[in-house]
Amino acid sequence: MDNFWVNALWSITPTVLVGGTFWFIMRALLRADRTERKVYSEIEAEERAKLGLDAPTRDKPAV
């Protein structure tokens, strides 16, 4: 019975590691994208303020 649990653990380990790695990479990508969009919006707002323009209106939802 002891050998069964060792084999089960070794069988599941690669799946868990690959899944964890995938989750970590996707999390990092999504956070980087969110941060980049936030910074871009701040820069755009600063540039519009320098030029004396109003904030852009959103008639259509962003796709």
Tokens 């690959």 belong to which residue? 18
How far is 7 from 12, CA to CA, in rounded Å? 9
Q: How many CB atoms lie within 10 A of CB 45?
A: 13
Q: What is the pLDDT of residue 9?
A: 93
pTM confidence score: 0.63
pLDDT score for 28: 97
Query: How far apart (Å, rounded) are the C-alpha atoms in residues 13 and 8?
Result: 9
User: What is the distance between the alpha carbons of residues 2 and 11, in angstroms, rounded to a whole number?
Assistant: 14
Give the pLDDT of the chain (63 residues) as one tens digit per residue. 679 989 999 999 999 999 999 999 999 999 999 999 999 999 999 998 898 887 766 666 655
